Amino acid sequence: MTMLSGRKRKSASAPKAAEGSLFKSCEAGIGFAVGEASVVATPEGALWVPSTATLIVSDLHLEKGSSFAQRGRMVPPYDTRATLSRLESLVLAFRPSRLVSLGDSFHDRSAAERLDAADAAAIRRLTAVTDFVWIRGNHDPDPPIDLGGSAAAELVTAGLILRHEPRPAPAPGEVAGHLHPCAAVAGRGRRLRARCFATDGQRLVMPAFGAYAGGLNVRDEAFAPVFPEGCAVVLLARGGAYPAAAGRLLRDV
Ligand SMILES: [Fe+2]
């Protein structure tokens, strides 16, 4: 993998023993297995699948800011620009053959109509340089393929099953989003709560990539059907990616 040469990435240098069986630091981030597939969690919150040069992001929730504004809740309207800028930077770094947006790419069904011209152009650039796949989400069941790319309910590739909502039953190789996982850990007398990748080694729930997307603690019961035995995480904090074993994860206070 040459596309990352020269990029110094933060990642935990020595995972603890309990984490080491799952995770391994590498140049692009934190490597681990989901079922039979090898993947890398990047500090930016994307998943890299080296065997197929596929980059996966989830829950962009583009135009969430303008959705709030329509309802009278005024927030800075720059979330779409910020999210797309981060995504373009990743595409420049990884040069993926395929880019998969794992559903809830847009915050609501009319979100694409509210894109300004520069943001629409940014999406067209992404769909022009990659085999771009819009996975359908509950917020965006009809992704705007007039911006390029193709739409699918799910995608099977390289031993992985990519879909928006995790199945409640065992699903080896599943990579899903929807739940916006966050995790809390304690260390050096401080408590840290941040977005995370959540995995039990058989399946994975991706962090939300969107600037305004919120997060749900992986200790919440919503994760119990997905990870009945609990999960380890890769925390995204201070520009780095840091593994944490299930036993370190705290509930929200
Ligand atoms: Fe969703």
In this prediction, residues 62-88 reach a mean pLDDT of 80
In this prediction, residues 53-67 reach a mean pLDDT of 89
Residue 150's pLDDT is what? 98
Residue 13 lies in a domain: no
**pLDDT of 20 over the 90 cut:** no
In this prediction, residues 30-47 reach a mean pLDDT of 97
CATH number of the domain where residue 91 is located: 3.60.21
Query: Half-sphere exposure of residue 55, counting CA atoms within 13 Å on the CB side?
Result: 24
**Residue in 36, 9, 37 with CA at minimum distance from that of residue 25:** 9
Cα 49 to middle of ligand 1, angstroms: 22
**pLDDT of 37 over the 90 cut:** yes
Domains identified in the chain, total number = 1
Residue 63 lies in a domain: yes
CA distance 56 to 48: 6
In this prediction, residues 77-99 reach a mean pLDDT of 94
**pLDDT of 192 over the 90 cut:** yes
Residue 111's pLDDT is what? 80
Residue 112 lies in a domain: yes
Cα 213 to middle of ligand 1, angstroms: 10
Residue 3 lies in a domain: no
Cα 102 to middle of ligand 1, angstroms: 9
**pLDDT of 16 over the 60 cut:** no
**Could you tell me the residue range of the domain that residue 69 belongs to?**
20-248
Residue 214's pLDDT is what? 76
CA distance 158 to 50: 10
| Bridge partners (DSSP) listed for residue 196 | 235
Residue 63's pLDDT is what? 83
Cα 178 to middle of ligand 1, angstroms: 4
**Residue in 230, 236, 159 with CA at minimum distance from that of residue 197:** 236
In this prediction, residues 115-123 reach a mean pLDDT of 94
Question: Residue 5: which residues within 8 A CB-CB, separation 6 or more?
Answer: none
Q: How does residue 15 score in pLDDT terms, banded at 50, 70 and 90?
A: very low
Residue 168 lies in a domain: yes
Cα 210 from chain centre: 9
CA distance 97 to 54: 6
Averaged pLDDT of the chain: 89
Cα 61 to middle of ligand 1, angstroms: 9
Is the distance from CB of 195 to CB of 224 less than 8 angstroms? no
Residue 5 lies in a domain: no
**pLDDT of 13 over the 80 cut:** no
Residue 251's pLDDT is what? 96
Cα 227 to middle of ligand 1, angstroms: 18
Cα 14 to middle of ligand 1, angstroms: 34
In this prediction, residues 88-105 reach a mean pLDDT of 97
Residue 6 lies in a domain: no
Residue 4's pLDDT is what? 38
In this prediction, residues 190-196 reach a mean pLDDT of 95
Is the distance from CB of 47 to CB of 41 less than 8 angstroms? yes
Residue 17's pLDDT is what? 35
Residue 7 lies in a domain: no
Tokens 């969430």, located at residue: 64
Residue 7's pLDDT is what? 44
Residue 76's pLDDT is what? 65
